[in-house]
Amino acid sequence: MPMPKPNLIIFSGLPGTGKTTLAKRLAAALNAVYLRADTIETALRNGGISDVGGLGYMAGYALAAENLALGNTVVADSVNPWQLTRDAWRRAAAGSGKRFVDVEAVCSDRREHRKRVETRQPDIAGHRLPTWNDVLDRDYHPWTDPRIQIDTANRTVDECLDELIRHALHDRRSDDGKRSASTEPGGCERIARRIGPPPRPMVPPRPWKSVSSTPRARHTETTASCARNKPQAPDMRPASLVESE
C-alpha cells in the first residue's frame, strides 16, 4: 500500500461505537501519530487538574498541528461532539497546509451499542468509563458537514477497517480544504451515496412522549381538476436522485 500524503484523520462518535478500536488500527496501518482525547484528559486529571473542561481538546489540536508540520500523518480520536470542536481539528490541518478527512463511527444496533458500553474494560489507568445513561445524555450534535460514516454494528473490525482504508486513502480533502472526488471509477457517485443527509439522532424518543402527525389535506374536486389540467414539466433530475427516493 503506498503511503498517503501527510494528513489529519479526525475520528468522531459516541462512546461504544468502535471509533477508538478503528482509530488505533488505522494509525498502526499507516504508521501514523495517534492522539486520543481520553488519554490527554486522564493525564491532566492525574496531574491534579480536576476540572479539565476543554483543555484536553486544546492540547490535542496543538499536538496535531505540530506533528502535521513535521510531515507526520495524524489520527485524532475523540467524541468530537460539537461543530466548535470539529472546526478546531480542521484548523489544525489547515494551519499546516495539510489535508484532513472526517470519520464518524456509529452503531445502528442499539442493543449491541449498549452491550459494548456496559461490558468494556478501561484501557487507560485512572480513566472512568461512561455509563449507558452517560452516552444517552451526551450532548452530541448531528452532523451537517461531509464525512465518512462507518457503521460498526454486526461487523468485524477487519471489515470496518478495510472499508475505512479504502475511503480514507481515496476520498481525502484537498489542500484548500475542499473535498476531492475519488480517483476510482464512479467515485463521485459513491461519495454522494455514502455521505448522504445528516443521520437521525441515535437516541429514540422517550416512550412517554406522544408522536403527533399532521392530518392529510382534504381532497376536493377543485384541486383534482387543477391537477388534471396543469401541464406536467419533464423530470430533469439525475437518475440516481430519482432512484434514491
In tens, the pLDDT along 12-53 reads 999 999 999 999 999 999 999 999 999 999 999 989 998 889
Take residue 220 and report the three cell numbers written for it.
376536493
- pTM attached to this predicted model: 0.68
Q: State pLDDT tens for residues 135-180.
A: 999 999 999 999 999 999 999 999 999 998 888 766 444 344 444 3
Residue 137 amino acid letter: D
Distances, alpha carbon 209 to alpha carbons 105, 138, 199, 204, in Å: 28, 20, 21, 10
What domains can be seen in the chain, in order of their start residue? 7-195 (3.40.50.300)
List the one residue out of 85, 43, 34 whose CA is nearest residue 64. 34
Q: Hey, which residues does 100 pair with through a beta bridge?
A: 8
Model confidence at 213: pLDDT above 90: no
Q: State pLDDT tens for residues 216-240.
A: 444 444 444 444 444 554 444 444 3
Distance between CA 174 and CA 122 in Å, rounded?
37
Distance between CA 91 and CA 52 in Å, rounded?
22
Q: What is the DSSP string of 168-202?
A: HHHS-B-TTSPBPPPSSTTHHHHHHHHH-SPPPPS
